[in-house]
Amino acid sequence: VSDLVSILLIYLIGERLFNRRVGILAALFTALSVLLIQHAHFFVVDPLANVFILAGLYFSVRVIGQGKLSDYLLFGVMLGLAVASKISAAPLAVVVALAGLTNILCAPVDQKSAVFSRTLAFLLGAALLSLLVFRVFQPYAFEGPGFFDVKFNPKWLANMAEVRSQQAGNTDAPYALQWADRSPVFFSLKNMLLWGLGIPLGILG
């Protein structure tokens, strides 16, 4: 279900940025990508995180031009849910800031100051809402026991440090041995084409 929602969101992003044809093509390429099908099949966290990340991107795109408070706040909710699902989704926060900056740069000279103030206020609202959502949906990150006890949980921080170490290749994890002694370019390219993007999107890429 999450994967199907992701395909719909990619269509909506493509349609809003370009046109309906681009949206349909983007959705088709996404539907044919092997990795998303594999992730959905094995019930890993990525399909769920993708929904929130793509929804955040969609509301960021909606911010461009209009800059409605509701779009900023909905982005904040999606950012909080995305980071609660997967901490590596945190850089998504930059996207709405870039969308707001676009509105400031494109505003008429006599309205720049007002657009800047409004954008700053809306970004602050989105940031506070995202922190609140993260607090609710990722309770393990905090020591507690009360809701307002927002000191980070040392065990959660240790888990994040361990994951960071694994990603950097500093941990000798048994499942990482499968990547040892592989051809530098061809192995990655083959996996990306056959088991990642899928052949149609891989060839296009």
What backbone torsions phi and psi does residue 142 show, to the nearest 5 degrees? -120, 150
CB 6 within 8 A of CB 51: yes
For residue 152, the cross-strand partners are 142
Provide the pLDDT for residue 170: 79
Provide the pLDDT for residue 174: 82
Query: From CA 3, how far away is CA 31, in angstroms rounded?
Result: 9
Provide the pLDDT for residue 40: 87
Query: From CA 12, how far away is CA 129, in angstroms rounded?
Result: 24
CB 80 within 8 A of CB 132: yes
**What ranges in 18-111 are assigned the alpha helix state H?**
20-31, 34-42, 46-66, 69-85, 93-106
**Interval 53-89: pLDDT, tens:** 999 999 999 999 888 999 999 999 999 999 999 999 9
Query: From CA 123, how far away is CA 117, in angstroms rounded?
Result: 10
User: Which residues, given as ranges, of the chain have pLDDT below 50?
Assistant: none
- Fill in the DSSP letter of residue 90: G
Provide the pLDDT for residue 179: 76
Give Cα separations from 196 to 20, 48, 158, 190 (angstroms).
25, 18, 30, 9
Q: What is the model's pTM?
A: 0.89
- Fill in the DSSP letter of residue 179: G
State how far Cα 151 lies from the chain centre.
Answer: 25
